[in-house]
Structure 1
């Protein structure tokens, strides 16, 4: 991979996206990271994303604002819906309708502007919350759309949607990140982290994260309230 090749990396500030950024850089890409201020209750992840991007020395980090509170329907965007702290049946209320579709669409626009043929996203279909937009079928379908809907695709520049964590467990993701020097103390994964980025330790995301560190045999650097 040429070290002059550009890539757009969706960087939420969480454990998975920080690992994806390190993976893209290890592969030799010049990385343009993108975070989304979409009205999420755990806004401290935006500060985490900025800090991770700065430490990694990305070419550019930007925050794109979208108010998904107007759509509602999710505990992450509607304060009247409580974040669940116990597992349940079906897709949980922390699912944000169409979030990854919207995020990837905007990242696709950024990729056209910065002449990037690769977009990296940290979706995972093994240790995850059951979201429909984290499945391999979704990534395959969006990849096809990306090459139909863009000037770059029409002109023969193949757009690649990269999901390097798709088939990894949380344990494997953490092991990979540690090998790449990811500082997980900088990351925020909690769905209801406070303004200082401290985790609740009880939500689904916190539970998956804690179990991943335990199984990987890595000390959990998460700051809990």
Structure 2
């Protein structure tokens, strides 16, 4: 256990990031959360992140606007339908409509910037494969 070390968690409001937050806290980290409003169509995720941060008593919860929708190309940030009833061969041969170009790379860069401002050396992310 690492008592009172600062860490940043990328908190989307989903199950993976909520679990990563709980793991970080169970390992003794004082956690600050970073949530990103990136033009996603479902703002309910950010409200869930706020509730999770509050219930887990994070030291600080920052919500930052990053307009990845400017780049387009994703059903998560644009008016693109999510395909349904696809066969497995289609899923393997195509980039998913919900893929947001470089999203996690951008998010991790912002988490690093946040970590530097609070003196944290650890970043947790609950990425969904």
Report the TM-score, using the length of structure 1 for normalisation: 0.53
| Aligned residue number for residue 22 of structure 2 | 22
Cα drift, residue 85 of structure 1? 2.8
Residue 82 (str. 1) matches residue 81 (str. 2):
yes
Greater Rg by CA: 1
Q: Any idea what the Cα deviations from partners look like across 1:13-34, whole Å, max 9, x if unmatched?
A: 0010100000000000000001
| Aligned residue number for residue 48 of structure 1 | 48
Unaligned runs of 5+ in 2: none
Residue 12 (str. 1) matches residue 12 (str. 2):
yes
| Aligned residue number for residue 107 of structure 1 | 111
Cα drift, residue 84 of structure 1? 2.3
RMSD value, Cα: 1.1
What is the aligned length?
A: 124
- Runs of 4+ deviating beyond 3 Å: none
Q: Secondary structure at the match of 1:106?
A: helix
- Bigger relative CO (Cα 8 Å, ≥ 6 apart): 2
Report the TM-score, using the length of structure 2 for normalisation: 0.91
Cα drift, residue 2 of structure 1? 2.9
Cα drift, residue 101 of structure 1? 0.6
| Aligned residue number for residue 156 of structure 1 | none
CA distance in 2, matches of 1:2, 1:46: 29
